[in-house]
Amino acid sequence: MSFREVVRFALRGLSANKLRSALTMLGILIGVASVILLVAVGNGSAKAVSDRIEALGTNTITVMSTNRGGSSNTSLTTEIADALTDQTMAPDVASVSPVVSSSATITYEGTDHDVSTFVGTTTDWFKASNTPVGEGAAFSADDVAQGRRVVVIGQTVAEELFPGVDPIDKQVTVSGALFTVVGVLEEKSSTGNQDSNDTAIAPLNAVRQVLSGYGALSSILIEAKDPDKVDLVQSEVSTILDQRLTTTASSTSSTSTPYRIQNASQLLETQTATADTFTTLLGAVAAISLLVGGIGITNIMLVTVTERTREIGIRKALGAPRRVILNQFLIEATLLSVIGGALGVAAALIGSNFEIVGVKPVIVPSSVGLALGVSIAIGLFFGGLPASRAARLRPIDALRYE
């Protein structure tokens, strides 16, 4: 008796009770689809976080003041930024970019656009923050030194203000001052709620003059010479900052520093670890539903065997060996789980095209293989008990069964 024949018998057995077979498959389908999809969601959110962090640049650290509007001796200034470039105190610092940022309205020929982050900085910032310029060029060090009113705009700004027009060399108005557009940033993958393309970058002094005034810096972006030296740079920077920024004991507790250092690679590690835990948790929950689906198969196959006891008796009387009966029911169970599993994979692949709770799922190929493999194993395992019960039936008992 060939294998194909046994499969045909099994298919006929399944199609004899379509609704029941379909519902059993649905259990496996949901199990497999949820394993793949939830792992994909976990993976997708991890990827989103790491993308966002990598966009900041993994070989940089950002210094921010924790003392908002506090006394001037704890705020970040350009002098401090200059001090950080000291090659003897901080030999591993590649560049230091002081940053001021505020929101602003850009106007071009009567069209207004509110930019969420209008950044004033130096030329080094483009490289350090991993923000390449697409069209045109970044402003030069000379522009920064002279405080010339030139601006590099993000994709969103370019689309809003210059639909179908080349924005290079156009004059825009920001807070009553004229700025010349010199470049457009390359499109950045936008993750989360914030549009990272809705930005504009201008020389530090120009922004200070027009928008933010000559107060404290928003932050300082420091680039390390090598991604491995980020931690070293962090300690060097801390040392300098501790010297420069004296904490007034009365205003804050002596243990806390008036600044905060954000280390992108550390952040990345923490976030990845959190996301992994999250993914594992989601996968485990989904695996339980797969298990429940498997128990559904056992249940249905037990019912099937009981229902078809007489048929088993007939088959045995006609000379079906134990092995053939075992195979028939095993294959029926496995077909249920395999078809259910395959449909589950299809459902997951379709589902992954949509955003789920604000996360774009990213399918992990191994999870597809694993879920399919597990569903086949479930069919064999959970189908094994009913199948062996069927095969062990004695023909006279089975024939006498009503």
Partner 1 sequence: MSRPVIEVRGLQKIYGEGEATVHALAGVSLVVERGDYVAIMGSSGSGKSTLMNILGALDVPTHGTYHLDGVDVSKLGDRQLALARNRLIGFIFQSFNLIPRTTAVANVELPLAYAGVKPRERRRRALAALSVVGLDDRAKHEPNQLSGGQQQRVAVARALVTEPALLLADEPTGNLDSRSTEDVLNVFDDLSAAGRTIVIITHEDEVGARAKRLVRLVDGRIVQDTRQSPLNQRPVGAFAGRHSG
Distance in angstroms (rounded) separating the CA atoms of residues 170 and 180: 6
CB 402 → partner 1: shortest distance, Å? 9
Provide the minimum distance between the beta carbon of 303 and partner 1 in the complex, in angstroms, as a whole number. 16
Among 1, 284, 350, 377, binds partner 1 (CB under 8 A): 1
Of 58, 59, 63, whose CA–CA distance to 241 is shortest?
63
Using CA atoms, how far residue 346 sits from 41, 83, 288, 307, in Å, is 16, 58, 20, 32
Specify burial of residue 362 (Cβ count, 10 A radius: 0-12, 13-18, 19+).
middle
Distance CA 246, CA 241 (A): 9
77 vs 328, beta carbon nearer partner 1: 328
Give dist(CA 219, CA 67) in Å, integer: 12
Within residues 28-87, the interface with partner 1 by CB under 8 A covers none
5 binds partner 1 (CB under 8 A): yes
Nearer to partner 1, 155 or 328 (CB): 328
Q: What element of type H or E holds 101?
A: strand 93-108
Kindly determine how many residues on this chain lie close enough to bind partner 1 according to the rule CB under 8 A: 23
Output the smallest distance, CB 324 to partner 1, in A: 7
Residues 366-395 contacting partner 1, CB under 8 A: 394-395
Q: How far is the CB of 395 from partner 1 (least distance, A)?
A: 5
Q: State the minimum distance, in angstroms, from the CB of residue 391 to partner 1.
A: 10
Q: Which is nearer to partner 1, 329 or 382 (CB)?
A: 329
Applying CB under 8 A, which of residues 284, 346, 377, 396 lies at the interface with partner 1?
396
- Build a one-symbol-per-residue string for 296-325: x at contacts with partner 1 by CB under 8 A, - elsewhere: --------------xx-xxxxxxxxxxxx-
CB of 314 to partner 1, least distance (A): 5
| Between 260 and 394, CB nearer to partner 1 | 394
Tokens of 53: 């962090």
394-401 contacts, C-beta under 8 A, 24 or more apart = 395/313, 395/316, 395/317, 396/313, 397/313, 398/309, 398/310, 398/312, 398/313, 398/314, 398/316, 399/310, 399/313, 399/314, 399/317, 400/313, 401/309, 401/310, 401/313
260 phi and psi angles, rounded to 5 deg: -130, 135
For partner 1, the closer CB: 260 or 392: 392
Which positions from 171 through 230 interact with partner 1, judged by CB under 8 A?
Answer: none
CB of 336 to partner 1, least distance (A): 18
Q: DSSP labels for 268-305?
A: HHHHHHHHHHHHHHHHHHHHHHHHHHHHHHHHHHHHHH
* 113 versus 315: smaller Cβ distance to partner 1: 315
Query: Which positions touch partner 1 (CB under 8 A)?
Result: 1-2, 5, 12, 16, 310-311, 313-324, 394-396, 399
